[in-house]
Structure 1
């Protein structure tokens, strides 16, 4: 085995260990903190629903849906929702909330690691939403693969709205470094985006907005990105 192959294998092993650790961290967090984000939707989800409605979307795929506050908001707003997350615990909590809210028939869930191909046919959804999913412990290569999958499952003219923490955030460059712009704080790893990465992920799309906003403690500094597939 060449030195280059050994280095690539070591990097892959490190990425897998980090991914496994993050899955355990989120499973534990959701188990001990049901309803941790509350019932109100995130601001980006409210914005996305307006964008999707204007575009005539009928169904929404949410990536990294977690306990489902945004998926439930989309369902209450009249969309059919497909919610995916790598945490079975979170999706069970989402199911229970959907039943309690009377929107169970509008929400379907699937346990899914977004590093793997999405369990949907080509051209099968009108819109995709992801709040802080892309800035988890995903390598740049994995991000490109994920966005390619989003492109595959979106219908022509479909819209993708996502949010990420960026390099202007107070936590960028601090904590435990994992390479590729990923830093870990209190057990949670974040891939901080620069503008070049946003632009690279929008290659072949119509990039209509990169909106800066703040959320939560510190506060966290994020971008809300909106991009659309050409028809």
Structure 2
């Protein structure tokens, strides 16, 4: 593991968020097929988890080009896909229309550092693949999960995945504090177990499944929790 380079904490999160937004915008524009068209393993799992609770609608946070959002739509769910990249969502809409899924997929440009523009208890399930472990402070992550709980119906399911402190990049690169390390051009908030447990306060006991993804490979947790009925 490389020794991390520290960076002053004052005012860093706003600057870091802006830089990360620019990185992702450029990446989405330059690589429209960066994740391919097949669903991720967490999305395949989530279809069964959502169906088990009778879900009909899914909110995906950080949908990107939409491989998972499109999979949910093909499986019969009404999908609200959000991302802070207008370019990524335009690509998602084009793909959805081409696949005759335009009536099942709605898109909204949204930064998860802000409140969701949805009514209380208005969605059946929420999904976020590697969104919570972006360059978000712990306070911002708690606020986001609070918003998820607000818009999720009682008994609804929240599935999210995050890179954790057992990942090879944890502690490497530039340290921004609060568990955030920037390796290359992208910053990641690496989760530990106490953070997962804290985010599940007032939820069901979280179900945590470790898995690996990519060539490094990245080490992640898939977390499933339910809003009490």
TM-score, normalised via structure 1 length: 0.95
Where do 1:182-221 residues align within 5 Å? 182-221=180-219
Partner of 1:137: 135
In 1, distance between residues paired with 2:132 and 2:10?
19
Where do 1:56-75 residues align within 5 Å? 56-75=54-73
What secondary structure is seen at the aligned counterpart in 2 of 1:149?
A: helix
Unaligned runs of 5+ in 2: 1-7
Runs of 4+ in structure 1 deviating by more than 4 angstroms, as ranges, are none
Partner of 1:79: 77
Match of 1:37 among 35, 38, 41: 35
In 2, distance between residues paired with 1:120 and 1:147?
14
In 2, distance between residues paired with 1:180 and 1:217?
26
In 2, distance between residues paired with 1:133 and 1:208?
17
- Tell me which of the two structures has the higher relative contact order, counting C-alpha pairs closer than 8 angstroms and 6 or more residues apart: 2
Partner of 1:223: 221
Partner of 2:4: none
* Cα offset, 1:207, TM superposition: 2.3
Partner of 1:110: 108
In 1, distance between residues paired with 2:13 and 2:71?
33
Partner of 1:180: 178
What secondary structure is seen at the aligned counterpart in 1 of 2:103?
A: helix
In 2, distance between residues paired with 1:112 and 1:31?
18
For these two proteins, the number of residue pairs brought into alignment is 222
* Cα offset, 1:122, TM superposition: 0.4
In 2, distance between residues paired with 1:208 and 1:185?
29
Match of 2:125 among 124, 127, 130: 127
* Cα offset, 1:11, TM superposition: 4.7
The yes-or-no answer on 1:164 pairing with 2:128 is: no
**Conserved 8 A contact 2:9-2:177:** no
What secondary structure is seen at the aligned counterpart in 1 of 2:205?
A: strand
In 2, distance between residues paired with 1:182 and 1:30?
22
What secondary structure is seen at the aligned counterpart in 2 of 1:163?
A: strand
CA RMSD of aligned residues (A): 1.0
The yes-or-no answer on 1:97 pairing with 2:95 is: yes
In 2, distance between residues paired with 1:12 and 1:161?
32
Partner of 1:26: 24
* Cα offset, 1:13, TM superposition: 2.5
CA deviation vs aligned residue, 1:194-222 (integer Å, no higher than 9, x gap): 00000000001002410000000211000
Name the structure with the higher helix share: 1
What secondary structure is seen at the aligned counterpart in 1 of 2:170?
A: coil
* Cα offset, 1:158, TM superposition: 0.7
What secondary structure is seen at the aligned counterpart in 2 of 1:47?
A: helix
In 1, distance between residues paired with 2:168 and 2:106?
36
